[in-house]
Amino acid sequence: MPGTPPTRFVYLGPEGTFAEQALRTIPAAERGSRTPARSVPEALDAVRAGDADAALVPLENSIGGAVAVTLDEMVDGEPLVITREVVLPVEFVLATPPGRTLAEVHTVAAHPQASTQCRRWLREHLPDAVVVDVLSNAAAALAATERQQDAAICAPIGAARQRLAILADKIADHDDAVTRFVLLSRPGPPPPRTGDDLTSLAVYIAHDRVGALLAVLMELAVRGVNLTRIESRPTGEALGRYAFFLDCTGHVADDRVGEALQGLRRICAEVRFLGSYPRHRGSTAVAERPVPAPAGLSDVDYADAAAWLTRLRAGQLS
C-alpha cells in the first residue's frame, strides 16, 4: 500500500452488501473506518478529494462481466491506482423474519441482478411468488425485516445484519459465481512484488495505424507477459474509438513487465498505469498457480542479458 497504511475506507454501499463483505476481508479495513457511498463515482471522488484513503468497488463479475462504470471512472479524472483485489463468492440466500416457512412466502424482495441470478431456484421452489424489485441487496433484507415483503434474496451479511432467518442458502443458479473487487488509492509506490502479481493498464491505441491492437498484444507476448483480461470501452470521442483495459501477470518492478510497458509507451497514443498488486489467493482464485515465464524470458534471463550488453558496450567480449 502506498505511503502510510490506509485507515479511512469507502465502499459501494449501502451497508449489508457484497461490497462491504469484501471490504471486511481486508484486515486494515476491519480495524479502520468504513463508509458506504451511493455510487462508484462518489466512492472514487472521496479518495481523490482526500476524504478517504482507499475505495473498494466492483470491477467484474464472472456471470455479468465487467462493471462498466468502474472502468470508466478509473480513467476519468485524477489518477487512482489499484493496490489490492478481492475475489468474493456471490452467495445469495433467501431470508425471512424468524418463524416464517417457505410455504408462507408469496412475495420476495430482490435486486434485479440477484433475482436474475436465482431465476432457476425461484422457478423450482417459489413458482407463484411475486418478485419485487428493490435498489440493492441490503434494501431487500430491510424490506423483509419491515415485513413489506415476505422474504428477501440478499447477501449473507445482509441477512445477519437484519437478524433474518435463512430459509435457503446458496440459491444462485451458478454456485461458482464470483465478483472481483478492487481497492483504489491515490498514486504512490505500488505494493512490493510477491511473485504472483497482476498489473492493470488502460491503453489507447493509434487508430490510424493498421494492426495497432495486434502491436499492443505483441509487446506483451514477445516478453512472455501473460494477458489475463482485455476489455474495450468507448472513449466517447466517436464511434469506433475505444480504450482497452488490460490485466497481465507480473509486477511493474519485473524486468519483462517494465520492458513491455516501455514498448507500449512507444507505440500507443496513451497508456494509463492502473496499478501492480498481489493476485487474490484462496479458494476463489481463478488460477491457483502463477503462469511461469517462458524459457529465456524470466527476470534472471533479463538480468543476464542486460549484464552481457553492459560488458559489450565496455569492450568486454568474454
Predicted confidence band at 287 (pLDDT cuts at 50, 70, 90)? Answer: very low
Residue 295 scores a pLDDT above 50:
yes
Task: Classify residue 57 by burial, with Cβ atoms within 10 Å: 0-12, 13-18, 19+.
Answer: buried
Residues 42-51 pLDDT 10s? 999 999 999 9
Among 43-52, 127-136, 281-290, the least confident range? 281-290
The pLDDT assigned to 284 comes to 46
Predicted confidence band at 207 (pLDDT cuts at 50, 70, 90)? Answer: low
113, three cell numbers: 441482478
This prediction has a pTM of 0.80
Among 2-16, 131-145, 162-176, 192-206, the least confident range? 2-16
- Decide: 6 and 83 in contact? Cβ < 8 Å: no
In order of 10, 119, 259, 309, the CA distances from 111 in angstroms are: 22, 12, 45, 60
Residue in this structure with the C-alpha cell 452467495, named with its chain if needed: 91
Predicted confidence band at 93 (pLDDT cuts at 50, 70, 90)? Answer: very high
List the one residue out of 246, 250, 220 whose CA is nearest residue 231.
246
Residues 222-281 pLDDT 10s? 888 999 999 988 877 767 678 899 999 999 999 889 999 999 998 888 899 999 999 988
Residue 154 scores a pLDDT above 70:
yes
